[in-house]
Structure 1
């Protein structure tokens, strides 16, 4: 499938939003990019599979999560249009993935093999900078998530979720929002009622 102008714009925006890539740097990366369409509920990655691709979400919504032995899901992150996905820890470890990545909406993705991104980083300083900045950004998000889970109560985590993902509640189930917050759907419903009661 050929990349459209929308795809190319999404690719350039996602990359240049992290680091300043010249036209030649962008062109070098495009050669390794392919399109993948996911139906709602279709997986980009399953636990046990090898993580090999970095994805840019052109359209749609992904959810990264873990599944406990009893089948309980714990949502790690939601990935919106223009953002990157791929489970960096699993990509770096080269071990079978521990995470699942699933489409919560019909999604159009741009995929680049992680091996190609690494090769570009070896050959091009701008791509090396891009890799470093993506890693820094993910570490910041990870630190913020740790603080939310360990330093905030459920109401505080809910407010942080609404700030990080404005408008997302209309796009995902309460069950997945609750699993992101580390609470039950019943508890989430209570938090929503309390919020409405104070006019928020």
Structure 2
């Protein structure tokens, strides 16, 4: 299990003083399976660091149909980033798929450290850049790859998830029905 400090130091060199100030802002929290880190319609105020567990990010349309956007697996940061930055209501729901250990901090307090700790701000920028690249890559995959190729990428990117989460969550993430996923899995296993 990678802790918050080790993960953040992996992004960029950070002074011990900055890391102490940063880690002092976080407190442990347990999300039980099915609990939400953030829901739609709420303005996000907290950022989290997922130490252990799996969280799905999804949105729900007006007909209450859910679409999985992303799976967060430890170690990583979680939160309603667009809401945190803009102050507008959150649209992407984040829910624990298994019991999760997280560290939580008030985002404004984290931002307040940037002035005196530019190394933390640099780390936050690098993290935002990584999220941007992941988002762009995901959008390209959805548009340019067929369902079988998207499934194969899912298996490569999330090798442990298939045995841990329901197949309908995987199908939703891939933009297909559970029946289509079953056919693809059968076809691939027969190769």
Q: Same fold (TM over 0.5)?
A: yes
Instruction: State the secondary structure of the residue aligned to 2:11.
Output: coil
Provide structure 1 residue ranges, at least 5 long, that are not aligned to the other structure.
1-5
RMSD (CA atoms): 1.2
Indicate conservation of the 8 Å contact 1:121/1:131, yes or no: no
Identify the residue that residue 172 of structure 1 maps to in structure 2: 165
Match of 1:130 among 120, 123, 135: 123
Match of 1:116 among 109, 119, 122: 109
Distance in 2, Cα, partners of 1:123 & 1:185: 50
Match of 1:59 among 52, 57, 78: 52
1:63 deviation in Å? 0.7
1:123 deviation in Å? 1.9
Match of 1:33 among 21, 26, 38: 26
Work out the number of aligned pairs and report it: 191
Identify the residue that residue 139 of structure 1 maps to in structure 2: 132
Identify the residue that residue 160 of structure 1 maps to in structure 2: 153
For 1:75-116, what per-residue CA distance to the aligned partner results, in whole angstroms no more than 9, with x for missing partners?
A: 111111111110211211211110111000011100111112
Large movers: runs of 4+ above 3 Å: none
Whether 1:42 aligns to 2:35 is: yes
Distance in 1, Cα, partners of 2:162 & 2:144: 23
Indicate conservation of the 8 Å contact 1:13/1:82, yes or no: no
Whether 1:80 aligns to 2:73 is: yes
For 1:154-197, what per-residue CA distance to the aligned partner results, in whole angstroms no more than 9, with x for missing partners?
A: 11111111111112111111111011101000000011001100
Indicate conservation of the 8 Å contact 1:14/1:56, yes or no: no
Indicate conservation of the 8 Å contact 2:28/2:103, yes or no: yes
Distance in 2, Cα, partners of 1:24 & 1:92: 26
1:36 deviation in Å? 1.0
Indicate conservation of the 8 Å contact 2:5/2:23, yes or no: no
Provide structure 2 residue ranges, at least 5 long, that are not aligned to the other structure.
none
Distance in 1, Cα, partners of 2:61 & 2:179: 20
Distance in 1, Cα, partners of 2:115 & 2:149: 42
1:17 deviation in Å? 2.0
